[in-house]
Structure 1
Amino acid sequence: MVYAVVRAGGRQEKVEVGTVVVLDRVKASEDGTIQLVPVLHVDGDTITTDAKKLAKITVTAEVLNDLRGPKIIIQKFKNKTGYKKRQGHRSELTRVKITGIK
Structure 2
Amino acid sequence: MYAIIATGGKQYKVSEGDVIKVEKLDAEVGAKITFDHVLLVGGDTVKVGTPNVDGAKVEASVVSEGKDKKVIVYKYKRKTGYHKKNGHRQLFTQVKIDNIVG
Give the TM-score range, shorter chain: 0.7 to 0.9
Hey, what's the Cα distance between the residues in 1 that align with 2:32 and 2:65?
A: 13
Please state how far the C-alpha of 1:43 moved relative to its aligned partner. Answer: 2.7
Counterparts of 1:15-94 in structure 2 under 5 Å?
15-28=14-27, 32-36=31-35, 37-44=37-44, 46-51=45-50, 54-94=53-93
**Paired residues, number:** 100
SS in 1 for 2:26: coil
What percentage of aligned pairs have identical amino acids? 33
Please state how far the C-alpha of 1:42 moved relative to its aligned partner. Answer: 1.0
SS in 2 for 1:97: strand
CA 1:5–1:29: 2 relative to 1, 3 Å: same
- RMSD, aligned CA: 2.1
Hey, what's the Cα distance between the residues in 1 that align with 2:88 and 2:63?
A: 23
Hey, what's the Cα distance between the residues in 2 that align with 1:87 and 1:53?
A: 38
Structure 2: 5+ residue stretches without partners: none
Hey, what's the Cα distance between the residues in 1 that align with 2:78 and 2:68?
A: 31
Please state how far the C-alpha of 1:29 moved relative to its aligned partner. Answer: 6.8
Q: Does 1:95 align with 2:89?
A: no
Hey, what's the Cα distance between the residues in 2 that align with 1:54 and 1:6?
A: 10
Q: Give the TM-score taking structure 2 as reference length.
A: 0.86
Hey, what's the Cα distance between the residues in 2 that align with 1:82 and 1:39?
A: 48
SS in 2 for 1:54: coil
Hey, what's the Cα distance between the residues in 2 that align with 1:79 and 1:31?
A: 50
Q: Runs ≥4 in structure 1, deviation > 6 angstroms?
A: none
Hey, what's the Cα distance between the residues in 1 that align with 2:99 and 2:28?
A: 16
Check conservation: 2:39, 2:52, Cα contact below 8 A.
Answer: no
